[in-house]
Structure 1
Amino acid sequence: MIGLVLAAGAGRRLRPYTDTLPKALVPVGPEGDEESITVLDLTLGNFAEVGLTEVAIVVGYRKEAVYARKEALEAKYGLKLTLIDNDKAEEWNNAYSLWCARDVLGRGVILANGDTVHPVSVEKTLLAARGQGQKIILALDTVKSLADEEMKVVVDAEKGVQKITKLMEPAEATGEYIGVTLIEAEAGEELADALKTTFERDPDLYYEDGYQELVNRGFKIDVAPIGDVQWVEIDNHDDLAKGRGIACQY
């Protein structure tokens, strides 16, 4: 099993940082320290801590900034990094971005969005949940109060995920998908096919819509509740301020 990070996004709501950097490289350390730790740093550190030795990173917008840091990141975290180019990062949504990594899905991955600040306990929770025939396990926050923007999930105790979408009344949801998934090797081919169906239907769809496509086909997707932990998806400057407060705890 290897790590996989989706780091192709532009993050236009985080300008001026993202004038020159992809969202995954926006600094989340002390404000004013532009050379500080990034979301990508935190994720790579988590992967290394749980024993992964290889990580694939899907890059697109401002990918040259990731290429420039590749060797330093490998040395810092003791990981072998492979960069995968997304040629449509500024045109299409992330269902296509994850599909670009279809060749590594067949190795089994822990997938992390490049904009999610979270503790290593999330990866540990996913790894501890393996072993009962699960093929895909989503990290789920069942504690947070939900609103319109969250990626909400409805879970059946026996059948697993039934619905995953932002377009849902918060009261209907079991919890929020936080952007971290364990994908076993045997699920790779089916997931890649579902992602292809998804972005061919509409290139603006999310990879979570690919998960819904799998569910609609009768594929069981499981969840692992992460407990009461601090995390944030960084979409804008308010999120970035929260991310800085959380990052300093880890």
Structure 2
Amino acid sequence: MIGLVLAAGAGRRLRPHTDTLPKALVPVGPEGARDSLTVLDLTLANFAAVGLTEVAVVVGYRKEAVYARKAALEERYGLKLTLIDNDKAEEWNNAYSLWCARDVLHQGVILANGDTVHPVSVEQTLLAARGEGRRVILALDTVKRLADEEMKVVTEPGKGVRRITKLMDPADATGEYIGVTLIEAEAAADLADALKATFERDPDLYYEDGYQEMVDRGLTVDVAPIGDVAWVEIDNNDDLAKGREIACQY
């Protein structure tokens, strides 16, 4: 099993921080600190802490910044990094971005969004949930109070995910998908095909819509509740401020 990070997005709501950097490389350490850690740093550290030795990173917007740091990141975290180019990063949404990594899915992956600050306990929870035929396991926050923007999930006992979408009444949701998934190698072909159908239907769709496509095809997508932990998806400057508060805890 290897790590996989989606780091191709432009992060327009984080400008001016993302004028020259992808979201995954925006510093989340103390503001103004030199050599501040980034979301990518934190994610790579988590992967290394659970014993992974290889990580693939999907890059696109300002990808040259990731290429420039590749060797230093490999040395810092003891990981072998493979960078995968997304040629439509500034045109299409992330269903296509994950599909670009379809070849590495066959190794089994822990997938993390490049804008999610979270503790290593999330990866540990996903790894502990393996087995009993589970092929795709989503990290689910069942504690947080939800609003309109969150990626909401409805589950059914014994059947896993029934719905995953932002377009849902928060009161109907079981919890929020936090942007980290364990994908077993056995699910690679089914997921790649679902992602392809998703972005061909509408290139603005999310990879989570690919998960919904799998569910609609009768395939099972499971969840693992992460408990009461501090995490944040960094979409805007308010999120970035929260990310800095959380990052210093880990």
- Under TM normalisation by the shorter chain, which class is it? over 0.9
Q: Following the alignment from structure 2 to structure 1, what is the Cα–Cα distance between the partners of residues 126 and 34?
A: 32
Q: Following the alignment from structure 2 to structure 1, what is the Cα–Cα distance between the partners of residues 12 and 183?
A: 29
* TM superposition shift of 1:35: 2.6
* TM superposition shift of 1:34: 5.1
* TM superposition shift of 1:86: 0.1
- Name the SS for the 2:224 alignment partner: strand
Matched with 2:49 is: 49
- The one-character-per-residue Cα deviations of 1:121-175 (angstroms, maximum 9, x if unpaired) are 0000000000111000000000000000000000001111000000000000000
Matched with 2:162 is: 162
How many residue pairs match? The answer is 250
- Name the SS for the 2:70 alignment partner: helix
- Name the SS for the 2:111 alignment partner: strand
Matched with 2:73 is: 73
CA contact (8 A) 1:164 1:212 kept: yes
Matched with 1:206 is: 206
Q: Following the alignment from structure 1 to structure 2, what is the Cα–Cα distance between the partners of residues 4 and 25?
A: 15
Q: Following the alignment from structure 2 to structure 1, what is the Cα–Cα distance between the partners of residues 34 and 7?
A: 19
- The one-character-per-residue Cα deviations of 1:95-145 (angstroms, maximum 9, x if unpaired) are 000000000001100000000000000000000000111000000000000
Matched with 2:120 is: 120
- Name the SS for the 1:18 alignment partner: coil
Q: Following the alignment from structure 2 to structure 1, what is the Cα–Cα distance between the partners of residues 35 and 239?
A: 19
Matched with 1:13 is: 13
Q: Following the alignment from structure 1 to structure 2, what is the Cα–Cα distance between the partners of residues 165 and 199?
A: 15
How many percent identity over aligned positions? 84
User: What amino acid maps onto 1:225 in structure 2?
Assistant: P
Matched with 1:111 is: 111
- Name the SS for the 2:107 alignment partner: coil
Residue 221 of structure 2 is aligned to residue 221 of structure 1: yes
Residue 244 of structure 2 is aligned to residue 236 of structure 1: no
The alignment yields a C-alpha RMSD, in angstroms, of: 0.5
Runs of 4+ in 1 over 2 A off after TM superposition: none
User: What amino acid maps onto 2:41 in structure 1?
Assistant: D
User: What amino acid maps onto 2:84 in structure 1?
Assistant: I
Residue 188 of structure 2 is aligned to residue 188 of structure 1: yes
- The one-character-per-residue Cα deviations of 1:212-246 (angstroms, maximum 9, x if unpaired) are 00000000000000000000000000000000000
